[in-house]
Amino acid sequence: MDLRRLENNPNVFFEPKPQITDFFEIMVFEKASGTIELNGHQIEIDDNSFFFISPFQIKSCKISLNKLKGFHLVFQSDFLSDFFNDKLFTYRLQYFYNTQYPQYLCLENKDFNIIKTAFNEIITEMNNYQNDSAHILRSLLYFSLSKLNRLYSNFYNISPDTQSSTTIYKFKALLEQNIRNLHTVRAYCSLLNVTRHQLNTVVKDHTKHTTKEIINNRLLLEVKTELRYSNKTIAEIADALSFSEPNNLTRFFKTMVGTNPSAFRKNYQNDRF
């Protein structure tokens, strides 16, 4: 884990070209101007805003370094899982691995200052490490991430519950691991050893979407990423994502987006749009 203030060395945090990392990031902007593109959505930065980036998501940042103020938190999945002794911890947080809602949050000063205080305490503890610092850091980090989950869930009117049936969190984990190969509700029910009705109930309670909608939205993100950032043909993308034939990928994409993959690629590939 690492947590730094943006204003101390802003040049190292942002890259205008699309980039991908293998760790979690939370970008916190107390004062800033510019845009971040994440999951194909370009979002303007507001004061007191948060951006949540999951591993292997592609992002690009166009941010003015003038009067920039905030925090940059990074950590590996294994670090949090081991730190909190919970292998599903990152999947309990609504703002990670979410294709239904923007991975973005803007807070009022009162709520923002709660997180700001906790982050400042983390930095102070890291800079003055002592024998009991690991316990303090664990408490502060757990509080911050859980509080942000509650604020994010309230913002988008979805469930803030992090302790409900483990089926939903296991489903989210399996989805990330298998989305390029498995696209059906039946496949995930089989992996989880639950019925379609059981899985759909817990998914709907947690996300307000059906299991099939969650799968399709996650699969769509994979297709869009391939179209924008690879040179694979439509047939090669279909094969990589386990569509039985290219026409099935085209049909799926047109149903979800309203245009065919070739037209989408022409407009968006390499951020030309």
- Report the pLDDT value the prediction gives residue 57, as an integer from 0 to 100: 87
- At residue 270, the pLDDT reads 47
- pLDDT at residue 186, rounded to an integer: 97
CA-wise closest residue to 137 among 92, 75, 69 = 75
* C-alpha distances in Å from residue 153, one per residue of 36, 46, 86, 150: 21, 19, 21, 5
- Pairwise CA distance, residues 164 & 201, whole Å: 12
| Spatial distance between the Cα atoms of 68 and 63, rounded to a whole number of angstroms | 9
Which sequence spans correspond to the domains of the chain? 2-156, 166-271
Q: What is the model's pLDDT at position 174? A: 96
Residues in the chain: 273
Residue ranges, the chain, pLDDT below 50: 270-273
d(CA 26, CA 75): 9
Query: 2-156 — its CATH code?
Result: 2.60.120.280
**Which fold, 166-271?**
Arc Repressor Mutant, subunit A (1.10.10)
What pLDDT does 269 receive? 54
Dist CA 141 CA 121 (whole Å):
10
pTM score, whole prediction: 0.85
